[in-house]
Each structure stands twice: as C-alpha cells, then as structure tokens.
Amino acid sequence: NAGVMQNPRHLVRRRGQEARLRCSPMKGHSHVYWYRQLPEEGLKFMVYLQKENIIDESGMPKERFSAEFPKEGPSILRIQQVVRGDSAAYFCASSRAGHTDTQYFGPGTRLTVL
Amino acid sequence: GQSLEQPSEVTAVEGAIVQINCTYQTSGFYGLSWYQQHDGGAPTFLSYNALDGLEETGRFSSFLSRSDSYGYLLLQELQMKDSASYFCAVKGLNYGQNFVFGPGTRLSVLP
C-alpha cells in the first residue's frame, strides 16, 4: 500500500517563475492537506481539499497561491511569480475521512527560489 | 483559535526515558496527536489521544489531560535513532478547522 506521494522532491525556480507541486494521496484517502515548513520551524497549515472542493484555505496567502484537487489526478499546489520567501518545504498529507482522522504525510517538496 | 507550546530542545542519553510536554490553549479540540520528524524527512504519525489518559505504543506513550490543557509524549529506552523533532498537534472542533502544530521539540540522544 503506497503512501502519500509527492513530486518533485526538489524544485528550483528563479524569482518570477511558477512552481507546481503535486500530491497523490494514499489509496482510499479522499482528503488532502497542504502544509509549509520553514527551516527550524513547525508546520503551518495552508489548505484542506476534498475531491473537486476546497474546504478550508484559511492558511493560504491571498495572492499567488492556489490549490486544486481534481476528480482525476493528483492535488496541485501552484505558486505563481515565486519570490525568495517562498523557499520552504511543502508537505502534503492525506486522510481517509476528514475532520478528525489521522493525517499521513508525504515526503515533501523542497522548493528553492534563486 | 488554538496555540500550543513545547520546549524547544531536550537532550538525553541512550537507554534513558524522556518526556516531551505540550501545553495548549484552545476553544475545543478532538484530540492530541504526536508526530516525529527526522532532519530532511516527513512528519510521521506516532500517536493520538482522543480521551484523557495514557496511550501506549511500544516504547512510546502519550498522555492527555484536558482539564489541565496538557499532554506529553514519553519515550522509553531511548535509542540514537530517536534523535528527531517531535510535534504535538490538535484538530479543532469545527468542520474545516484543521491541524495546528506546535513549534516542535528537538530531541538529541547522546551515546
């Protein structure tokens, strides 16, 4: 049973470019969460999605960031016009049910903005 | 809202027992979770306390006291591989409220 998959594992972008981060949840999981982690810091919630729906995006910056979880395919976290401050590890987690269920994390995507 | 506090660092020797505390301020939550994260790795689920009391999973145990707004993770028979960061997290009561993680405790196990 494969765990949560994320790709790419490492992503380098220049300022102003776009970054696309992908997350495939565990089999049987329909709830996806995105977190950001800066070096030496804890995880910060960004967005919670179910298939085709954004449930909670209270942690997402208002500009340049968007997320989707289409009916088919992985969840995508998209960052437009990246800036140096976007450099961080972005983790995706999934759960079978939402709201109270345990979240299992993927290996993360480490984004570096030059 | 919710906020959690943890000690930033803890050091112990192999074979010892260590307790990592987590105090919180929250208007209500479903339970307290604990995650382990090695440097450069992903957070790994360790345990979950929905009810007050002690939950034991092998060398790791976790405790919750809602009346004291307090929980802890207990690691026994420490091994070098236990050196990692440990995060507590709570899940809010309202639909859509998601996990809030504590700042993490960095555990260093010395030989």
pLDDT digits (tens, 9 = 90+) for A16-63: 999 999 999 999 898 999 999 988 788 999 999 998 899 888 889 989
3-state secondary structure of A60: coil
pLDDT reported for residue A101: 75
pLDDT in tens, A56-110: 888 899 899 999 999 999 999 999 999 999 999 999 999 987 656 788 999 999 9
Residue A111 has pLDDT above 70, yes or no: yes
Contact A41 B103 (CB under 8 A): yes
How confident is the model at residue B26, as a pLDDT?
73
The two tokens of residue A79 are 């960052």
Do residues A111 and A7 make contact, with C-beta atoms less than 8 angstroms apart?
Answer: no
Query: B96: which chain A residues are within 8 Å (Cβ-Cβ)?
Result: 48, 55-56, 58
Distances B27 to A79, B12, B97, B105 between C-alpha atoms, Å: 33, 34, 12, 23
- In this prediction, the residues of chain B whose per-residue pLDDT falls under 70 are 1-2, 93-98
Rounded to 10 degrees, what is the CA torsion of A72, A74, A75, A76? -110
How close does chain A come to B14, measured CA to CA in Å? 24
| Cross-chain residue pair B42–A42, CB shorter than 8 Å | no
What's chain A's Rg over C-alpha atoms? 13
CA atoms within 13 A on the CB side of A107: 8
**pLDDT score for B81:** 96
Q: What is the pLDDT, as a whole number, of residue B1?
A: 63
Report helix, strand or coil for B43.
coil
The helix/strand/coil state of A84 is helix
Minimum CA–CA partner of B5 in chain A: A42
Residue A107 to residue B45, Cβ atoms within 8 A: no
Residues of A in contact with B84 (CB under 8 A): none
CA distance A95 to B91: 13
